[in-house]
Amino acid sequence: MTEIKAVEETVEPNDTTTMAEVRDGVDAIDRALVALIARRFGYMDAAARIKPDRGTVRDEDRKAQVIANVKAHAEELGVPVPLAGALWEMLVESSIAYEFIRYDEMRG
């Protein structure tokens, strides 16, 4: 992904000396995050295509596992765990809603 390469080419946060460098870094990360979210939603398209019936779209055990994994990783990286949990709660719920829409579209 070219967006991720662009992040790698920015100045590391601790090495920034100007607000322009800070803003360039933040903007590059935002573009990369959107690209990653787009790819994640591509997997929602795949799930909608693969799942055998509509009742399997919502999987509360999987949702809990995804959010727990993210919280654990956030803690490892020093990211505020409540923030990561809240963001992924919204992301996963939005992904489920999207997958329902795509499931229905694919089956007419």
Closest Cα partner for 105 from 66, 55, 48? 48
- pLDDT higher than threshold 90 for residue 1: no
Residues 77-97: tens digit of each pLDDT: 999 999 999 999 999 999 999
pLDDT: which is higher, 56 or 1: 56
Could you tell me the two tokens for 3? 């967006």
pLDDT at 54 over 90: yes
Confidence of residue 108 (pLDDT cuts 50, 70, 90): confident
Question: pLDDT-derived band of residue 75, with 50, 70 and 90 as boundaries?
Answer: very high
Q: Closest Cα to residue 89, out of 67, 62, 61?
A: 67
* In the block, residue with structure tokens 């990211």: 79
Over residues 6-38, the pLDDT tens digits come to 899 999 999 999 999 999 999 999 999 999 999
Distance CA 106, CA 108 (A): 6
